[in-house]
Amino acid sequence: MKFLITGAGGQVGVELIADLRRRGHSVVGTDVAPRPSLVADDVTWHLLDVTDAARVQYVFGNETPDVVVHLAAILSSGGEQNPQLCYAINMTGTYNVLEACRRFQTKPRLIFTSTIAAFGPGLPDPVPNEVSMRPTTMYGVTKVAGELLGEYYFAKYGLDFRCVRYPGLISAGKPGAGTSDYALFMYTSGIRDGRYAAFCRPDTRIPFMYMPDAIRATVELSLADRAKLTRCTYNIAAMSPRADEIAASVVKGVAPQAVAITFDPVEWRQKILDSWPRALDAGRAAADWGWKAQYDLDAMTRDMVPKVREMVARGLLPKE
């Protein structure tokens, strides 16, 4: 199958491209930035600003993909610093992508990536798939709207819209201005600098997932039999460790290297974290398309520490 990915130069996109190519699929990457060094030269790459409707339509029309994975977005921390830009990219950009898909005679399957930021405070623990959603950030507001807009296009135009709600993602790659990145920095800064002061309280608990699981979930949902799907949007889940539990796993995992992880909460970031769920119920995804995570906290640490060490040795981890 031919996949087209928006926002392909980001943390998720680079790893998704590699995974799809290993599976034998054709991939087209698009982003506002040039091709990242980690993306092979033989991958077709287009400079694409998703807020430019004419350009989106042109690229989609020329590439005629079977599946579009829409990753282009401003994340939570970046969105709070520039909510106007977040709205433009996450809302106008998503509308442009939906419209480009709708206009094809043979409509491509559209995979939309949502987030735990779409939820708000005061929800059950774990949070079920269907629940009242009252996000507290521009990022969350745009993701709820994107979910609902995609479901509208599914009902009105027959567009095969599928959405996966990511937990906080942890990867050895470059962070993307997400509020959950304190966990990633424990690994990267801890290994590179021997210390890290997390911008959250030690008792902070939100859902997390190791990137290989998130990539696999995205691909599995994109390839699932539509007849077996009972909805458009799915929670996925893996682990929900406290921040101090992540710190302990990192310290244990990098031994005998000395690592000091402390906590220095930043009020506006902590407020966002406290508004998010502590855990997600992924029962719908398990029932409809067999979702099951492969990595818990310590398994992630064992796999990730050598990768981060290699990136540090190669000078691929710039200062945050």
Cα 5 from chain centroid (whole Å): 13
Give me the number of domains the chain comprises: 2
Q: State whether 36 and 153 are in the same domain.
A: yes
Q: State whether 50 and 108 are in the same domain.
A: yes
Q: State whether 101 and 185 are in the same domain.
A: no
Q: State whether 121 and 140 are in the same domain.
A: yes
In a domain, 319, yes or no: no
CATH number, domain of 254, equals 3.90.25
Whole domain around residue 22: which residue ranges?
Answer: 2-167+211-235
> Is residue 7's pLDDT more than 70?
yes
In a domain, 284, yes or no: no
Q: What pTM value is reported for the model?
A: 0.94
Q: State whether 73 and 190 are in the same domain.
A: no
| Per-residue model confidence (pLDDT) at position 313 | 87
In a domain, 113, yes or no: yes
CATH number, domain of 86, equals 3.40.50.720
Tens digits of per-residue pLDDT, 291-319? Answer: 999 999 999 999 999 999 998 888 877 66
| Per-residue model confidence (pLDDT) at position 258 | 84
Q: State whether 148 and 273 are in the same domain.
A: no
Q: State whether 123 and 190 are in the same domain.
A: no
In a domain, 318, yes or no: no
In a domain, 116, yes or no: yes
User: Greater confidence, 256 or 136?
Assistant: 136
Tens digits of per-residue pLDDT, 139-193? Answer: 999 999 999 999 999 999 999 999 999 999 999 876 656 788 999 999 999 999 9
Catalytic residue among 139, 166, 196, 295: 139
> Is 58 in the active site?
no
Q: State whether 45 and 146 are in the same domain.
A: yes
> Is residue 320's pLDDT more than 70?
no
